[in-house]
Amino acid sequence: MVKLPECIEKSEYEKNISSQTPEVKIEPADITIALAGNANVGKSVIFNNLTGSEQVVGNWPGKTVDLAEGTFHYNGQKLHIIDLPGIYSFSTFSMEEIVSREYIAHEKPEVVINVLDGSVLERNLFFTLQLMEMGVPLVVCVNQMDIARQKGFHIDTEKLEKALGVPVVPTVAIHGEGLQKLVEKAIDVAQTRKVVEVPVEYGGEVERVVKQLEEFLDNEGLDLGYSNRWVAIKLLENDPEINKQVESISERAIQYSTYLALELEKIHDEPSFSIIASERYALASRIAAGAQKQDKYKPTLSEKLDKILIHPLFGYFTSALVILGLLIWTFVLGNFLSEIITEAMSFFQPVDAALSGPVIAVLWNGAFGGFVAGVTLIVPFVIPFYILLSYIENSGLLTRVAFMMDSFMQKIGLHGKALIPLILGYGCSVPAIDSTKILETRRERLLAAFAITFAPCSARTIIILSLVAIFVSIWWALALYVLDIIIIFIMGKLALKAMPGEATGLIMEMHALRLPSTSTILKQTWNRTKSLIYLVFPVFIAGSALIQVLYVLGILGPISNFMAPLTVGWLLLPSFAGILLIVGVVRKEFVLLTLVSFVGTDLSLALTPVQFIVLALIGMLYIPCLSTISILIREFGLKAASVISAANLITAFIVGGIAAHLLSFIL
């Protein structure tokens, strides 16, 4: 039987705290506050509201993989805010869980704010109990109270505070409600250093075994930076990382913990980690039941929509419509904006270096031509894409698409959650590959990264839209995206055969659908667009000028002649295409940049419709840019990065050559 604190009267646990921990105020000083909790509970929203930073807020699991830090001042007090990754436990199954528990244990923030989703209180309390086991200064923030009320839940935060024995503050962070009180409570806890010594007490055999092991660890003088009670629980759960740390200090502790765990397993006839988890769930359920009531259940609009969005049949159509809608929106609106901007910049025409002189040619064709190319060929397409992508992320649609695509992703050894970094790869491969950290195993991360390198990032999208959508047709551009999905599937199947193994099941938070705020969409779009603009425009201007210099000096001709058997003979492209492919390895935009430097913005003077399509297809598939190769080496090593790059290159030339010969009979 689990010993539970009462929700109505002051618990024995609270009485122990008041007697054991004197509230001694300390002088004002810098305070570090860590935000911890499950994914999608609103930690990043709170972080942004408090710090005013530009942290991206996304509505899908595992968004915060790395630590995000910000500062702000409140009543003369400087506060450091750390937004920890969204996790569900303190196990070592993922990098996020390790990062969070190591930070709390070893960096020792003055207070931890545990953010809960009020609409799923019982499930979130499972993690709260683990924080309490660690004995950290704690404030519980019950966020998304508006959604809880919509679902008919009435949460008595006073009863919840009595049950937990730590301050509890209700908030609606997206509207800023309750955040001032939350900060005040956090400062108060930090200044009094009110730490719970015995935060969670289980019942029966479990509590007896935990106390026996804790006492043994105390006698051994064990100090891992965690409380010995927490270490005892993790040993009983057979946590591999804690086992390793304890074994290096005391083998006797490992032997004794194994003996006690086996004793528990004989009594309960189940694994010891499952026994501990059951104790936590029982306690979380009892606390939640005592602190909340629910009116007669009425399905929310989000739940009604989910009957269609994740329906076994209709869900596939809605997911396909979301992805197709993202592409069509980008093509149609981008093409419309591009025509307007191109008309406005129609005064720009390249000049002949022989007539105007090399300096004028470099400055006009190169530097100013690079700027015109950026304005007319990048901005019109990138901004619409990022606007709608931000909406899909923050509304919760992306999570539904990932869920429905799980069966498809399983065929290439992944699960639906891998679709998240794959779709992010349509923006940029570098952060997409970095975001594969949300996947559980190195094998899954490597398979996902391999698929991402075939996804057309914004730079490749620029090439597709600028070459095909503008000079051939939108539908041929869309056809390239469809072909790319087929290629990703085929290459994924081949990679799966080369790296056989069993894919893990899909476990992810299905957050309620919501209309994201316009400010969030615009801020996220600007954060993504500005980094591209700040990088691409200087590169376009400087790179275009450099290419003009090489052109004037006559260096580019021999390179083109050397690659002619491949570019002209097999790919049926003009002879100068070899130069385009070489410079494109640095950044894919250089393909377009160099082409504009050669012939101006009216590219139809140099290429036929078939050549536009083939060049875009090659640019979409061939070797990743240097920044992508760099992160592949960092994450997976030189060998894996080389194999992935070679696969991209070979695929591009095989598919490009076949397409060139087939299309020559069609167009």
Any known ligand binding at 466?
Answer: no
Here the contacts of 11-17 (C-beta below 8 Å, separation 24 or greater) are 11/162, 11/163, 11/165, 13/165, 13/198, 13/199, 13/201, 14/162, 14/165, 16/197, 16/198, 17/165, 17/194, 17/196, 17/197
| Residue 656 is labelled as binding a ligand | no
Closest CA to 458 of 494, 436, 435, 431: 431
Scanning 103-151, the segments in alpha helix (DSSP H) are: 121-134, 145-150
For residue 591, the tally of other CB atoms under 10 A from its CB is 28
Is 370 labelled as part of a ligand binding site? no
The tokens describing 305, both together, are: 């929509």
| Residue 549, annotated as binding a ligand | no
**The amino acid at 656:** G
Select from 175, 245, 207, 527 the least CA-distant residue to 386.
Answer: 527
Classify 115 as helix, strand or coil: strand
The reply to whether 116 sits in an annotated binding site is: no
240 assigned ligand-binding residue: no
Kindly compute the dihedral angle of the four CA atoms of residues 360, 361, 367, 369, in this order, to the nearest 10 degrees: 120
CB of 235 within 8 A of CB of 226?
Answer: no
114 is in an annotated binding site: no
* 432 in a labelled binding site: no
Residue length, the chain? 667
Question: Was 416 annotated as part of a binding site?
Answer: no
Q: What are phi and psi of 404, to 5 degrees?
A: -70, -30
Residue 42 annotated as binding? yes
414 is in an annotated binding site: no
**41 annotated among ligand-binding-site residues:** yes
Q: 151 a known binding residue?
A: no
Q: Find the largest Cα–Cα distance for the chain.
A: 94
- DSSP string for 85-110: PP-S-SSSSSHHHHHHHHIIIII--S
Q: Is 527 annotated as a binding residue?
A: no
Cα–Cα distance for residue pair 576/556, rounded to 1 Å: 8
Sequence-ordered list of residues with C-beta below 8 angstroms from that of 194, at least 6 positions apart, any chain = 17, 21, 23, 137
- Confirm whether residue 144 is marked as ligand binding: yes
Structural contact between residues 42 and 174, judged by C-beta atoms closer than 8 angstroms: yes
In order of 246, 293, 337, 368, the CA distances from 329 in angstroms are 56, 44, 12, 29
Q: What is the distance between the alpha carbons of residues 510 and 136, in angstroms, rounded to a whole number?
A: 29
Encoded tokens for 475: 């539908």
For residue 83, say whether it is annotated as part of any ligand binding site: yes
Question: Is 65 labelled a binding residue?
Answer: yes
| Residue 62 assigned ligand-binding role | yes
Taking CA 74 as the corner, what is the angle to CA 83 and CA 14, rounded to the nearest 5 degrees? 70
**What amino acid is encoded at 623 in this protein?**
I
Three-state SS annotation for 471-482: HCCHHHHHHHHH
Residue 58 assigned as binding residue: no
Determine if residue 505 is labeled as part of a ligand binding site: no
Binding-site annotation, residues for Mg(2+): 48, 51-52
Binding-site annotation, residues: 37-44, 48, 51-52, 62-66, 83-86, 143-146
Binding-site annotation, residues for GTP: 37-44, 62-66, 83-86, 143-146
